[in-house]
Structure 1
């Protein structure tokens, strides 16, 4: 880590930009969390929605607001603060670019939200054709994506400025990680931007009569799987480079951290077909290829696990621990900044195992389109990622607002993390179990409540409602903590923890800064994985009886 470039405090002007992103993110948490609670209650069969709303409307709110809005705003605010901290205060031009990105995303979010709330865009989180939304919904989503690109431009500009001022030196680790995630996001969102701008938006405006559904779904999942890593990599940033400082240890290896992020850039995008394993119209050989590429993503995940637990063990040994797991006792379990993200780390073990099931062609046939997939989704994003985001908020929000994390808020934060873990154990566990029994995803209780098979699912649906209720309590606690840290906590200077690399770590090679190489390989992998399948889809697309191209 290039500690000489790390400032003590993030510039207040940069802090206001990051906090603006966080305000929108936590408003999204409140709205999306309420929709999620209502959704689980409806699925239990013990609750009916008011006549003025519907199950698929609240399902769309929950997915879009939490899966796209909360995550994108939080991640961009977090990465801007990381760059400002480790590469120096943003220039006026960079900061202005960030504000333009923020307002573009916010305007797009409001447009999409209005369409969902007026029930003109109940098309779910994936907004698959032939479900059709109002044109303003698609336009709003486009603005969210474009705004995130503008935010990303500010990060790229800051990185470039640092490199020009420090030739021949590896960039600060957290700036490097933010850049990788930004580049991956820009490349990945080209897919969803293409299907929205050239297919769904013209279709909703009546400019074209039909949509090629398979092409649309393929473009979405070209984006949809790296979206998962866009969520996950900021958590990895905290695990790799911030948690070691919090516990009083050092980063195991700067080079290993950079290599794992480069591998995510290479292998996270050309793998969308593993979400389409059950769909005809795609040659099985290309599905098999992308399944192999999907399993290659396991490598940087295992590298991360090794690095993290090596850091923990090195710290424990330095404090005198002995035995195989003696170091566990030395970790600061009373510090919410560590304890809550650590719960997220542990959740990623079963979450990763479930991901291997989803990516395997044979096993995927058992769980495809069942609520198992939703349970997996809630272990990865809603536990591993979100709990780490909460852990980041405990120190970053007071740092940016000139306040401190008090002992009372620290204790409440630990309680909040435990409440979340309990609620998710009930809800995600029940989803996985019901999925193995064939319970479908996305369906309300009324859809299948009278069937004989549904009787097997009812206990699990009730368990989901119990878990969802506990999680909503966790959301209330988190919102209380956020408001306190942003507006009411005592004035002071909260630490922005940035880890230092262990003394025995190898020197970081400059090849990691060769973006022509890494982006070139990324583009080649994408072209290799998608060019021929796309040609096949377009050449062999049958026309359905209603004018849409169905498969």
Structure 2
């Protein structure tokens, strides 16, 4: 009844008010993300200091312990909690959430928190220094894997709630197209669910029995294949919420409209198709996988470039159209009319620009011959920080500047806006220095994941030292940016003036082509995705199960990316 009443009152705008109970739920997820940002950022700072050779970890703390905390807390905890909180806020605003759905969402939250605590505890106790990828034959305490499984299960429950929200809305709005943001959230939760099945199988069937001692050995190649079945679409699970903001929220912030609803939906459908059956491009140097299947998945990887270019076209079409409506003249006059002093626009826009070199680096990583040059070097770490830690994180920061005050009933003041601009600049400078140095050191052969003490001597090591120092400088600047962002988060949450901050959702251009109804054919999209996955994985996985050696000796398999 509560949800039906809200729908009836706001049927025309398709934007529903967010209650205090809903806000508390959404903020709980986002708050965990910012706690993770502070902890993971500190671990990252310690990492770059150790790599520079100028710092030794105190109290017997192991370098790989710090490395694991940094990767897991930032790569999995921060991103997953923020995205789920953002998903819920978008769904609550566009299609609504019932009391029952909200209760189930709380169950998902507490299951994830319990799993996060278990995983973090084992890492901090030194029982799970297995890095973000937790490759076998590295073995962690069983609680580490059980905690990961709980985090995944909790995220699935949250996804089921999102699907239920859209189903309830569609039942009340038969024949209408679903709100764009609800459509996008549904695509991303589908992507997450299908992709995380791989890592769930690896954890439940392989790692937990092995870590408990019920299995003496583990099929290393199969475990790595299942991880990268999950590991690459994970990147798009991080990226697509940024795309949601770029497509449907940034246009409202700059005073424009969505260039094309159909184009936005099509790009998300293509990301669903081509982001999952591509994990072998992370395993190009590994034995046991036929080169034909590697080539097929490399081709599928390059298909992701298409929706990326579609997105770039759509966004800059929106920017130009809006700028010209505001009086921009000449070839680039529209560019000056964009709201450069609004951090809600500036931070995500810098993220968009960072994705240009980030995407170029991704093409290199996924290429057969060029990958051999950079494989398992710190180039890959630099690429990771350019895409996820710059493109995605700056967009998440930009979202926070309006979402947090909206949920808390507060205002983004001019002072906090200026502070946010400073934070975005600090983040950009720090990441440019650190990521740039990582890319160059990688081209010189500098390994990833290794501490300075393990490098040994030689002329090549001395060639890396300057770039390791640059990484330490960039990492220090980034940590300052993290402290500033956490400060802004606290101010927006508890101390900013009371008021109403807009939840900016853009409408579509009036003369845009109507959205075809077949975009709502979920059986078709899921069916095509499943067919692509089966085509890319069924034969090679059967070969791996039948023919790959099974062992747990660390020298049996090379550590790849």
Contact 1:351 1:380 in 2 (8 A): yes
Partner of 1:6: 14
| CA gap 1:24/1:543 in 2 versus in 1, 3 angstroms | closer
Contact 1:94 1:154 in 2 (8 A): yes
| 2:152 matches 1:142 | no
| 2:29 matches 1:18 | no
How many Å separate the matches in 1 of 2:391 and 2:552?
44
Q: 2:39 aligns with which of 20, 28, 31?
A: 31
Contact 2:217 2:550 in 1 (8 A): no
Partner of 1:169: 176
How far 1:500 moved relative to its partner?
A: 0.6
How many Å separate the matches in 1 of 2:239 and 2:551?
39
How far 1:11 moved relative to its partner?
A: 1.9
Partner of 2:508: 501
How many Å separate the matches in 2 of 1:547 and 1:304?
43
Partner of 1:76: 84
Contact 1:211 1:548 in 2 (8 A): no
How far 1:436 moved relative to its partner?
A: 0.3
How many Å separate the matches in 1 of 2:187 and 2:103?
22
Q: Which runs of 5+ in 1 are unaligned?
A: none
Contact 1:210 1:549 in 2 (8 A): no
Partner of 2:4: none
| 2:102 matches 1:87 | no
| 2:66 matches 1:58 | yes
| 2:45 matches 1:42 | no
1:143-222 matched pairs, under 5 angstroms? 143-222=150-229
Q: 1:253 aligns with which of 233, 254, 260?
A: 260
| CA gap 1:407/1:449 in 2 versus in 1, 3 angstroms | farther
Contact 1:3 1:500 in 2 (8 A): no
| Partner SS for 1:147 | helix
How far 1:543 moved relative to its partner?
A: 4.3
How many Å separate the matches in 1 of 2:413 and 2:439?
38
How many Å separate the matches in 1 of 2:335 and 2:64?
45
| 2:373 matches 1:348 | no
Cα deviation digits, residues 170-227 of structure 1 (max 9, x gap): 1000011001000100000000000000001100000000000000000000000000
Contact 1:98 1:151 in 2 (8 A): yes
| Partner SS for 1:348 | helix
Cα deviation digits, residues 86-106 of structure 1 (max 9, x gap): 112x10111011101100000
How far 1:547 moved relative to its partner?
A: 10
| CA gap 1:149/1:280 in 2 versus in 1, 3 angstroms | same
Q: 1:384 aligns with which of 383, 391, 403?
A: 391
How many Å separate the matches in 2 of 1:32 and 1:3?
42
Cα deviation digits, residues 451-470 of structure 1 (max 9, x gap): 32110000000000000000
TM-score, scaled to structure 2: 0.96
| Partner SS for 1:507 | coil
Contact 1:544 1:550 in 2 (8 A): no
How many Å separate the matches in 2 of 1:256 and 1:3?
24
Contact 1:209 1:547 in 2 (8 A): no
Partner of 2:372: 365
1:282-297 matched pairs, under 5 angstroms? 282-297=289-304
Partner of 2:527: 520
How many Å separate the matches in 2 of 1:59 and 1:546?
22
**Alignment length (residue pairs):** 549
How many Å separate the matches in 1 of 2:393 and 2:89?
18
Cα deviation digits, residues 241-261 of structure 1 (max 9, x gap): 000000000000000000000
Cα deviation digits, residues 396-437 of structure 1 (max 9, x gap): 001001111001100000000000000001000000000000
How many Å separate the matches in 1 of 2:367 and 2:377?
15
How many Å separate the matches in 2 of 1:392 and 1:453?
43
| CA gap 1:395/1:3 in 2 versus in 1, 3 angstroms | farther
| CA gap 1:7/1:103 in 2 versus in 1, 3 angstroms | same
How far 1:51 moved relative to its partner?
A: 3.5
Partner of 1:227: 234
How many Å separate the matches in 2 of 1:408 and 1:167?
46
How many Å separate the matches in 2 of 1:435 and 1:550?
22
How far 1:550 moved relative to its partner?
A: 4.8
Contact 1:11 1:84 in 2 (8 A): no
| Partner SS for 2:12 | helix
Q: 1:401 aligns with which of 394, 400, 408?
A: 408
Contact 2:16 2:92 in 1 (8 A): no
Partner of 1:322: 329
How far 1:50 moved relative to its partner?
A: 0.7
How many Å separate the matches in 1 of 2:152 and 2:332?
45
Q: 1:116 aligns with which of 99, 116, 123?
A: 123
Contact 1:395 1:495 in 2 (8 A): yes
Partner of 2:309: 302
Contact 1:210 1:547 in 2 (8 A): no
| 2:347 matches 1:334 | no
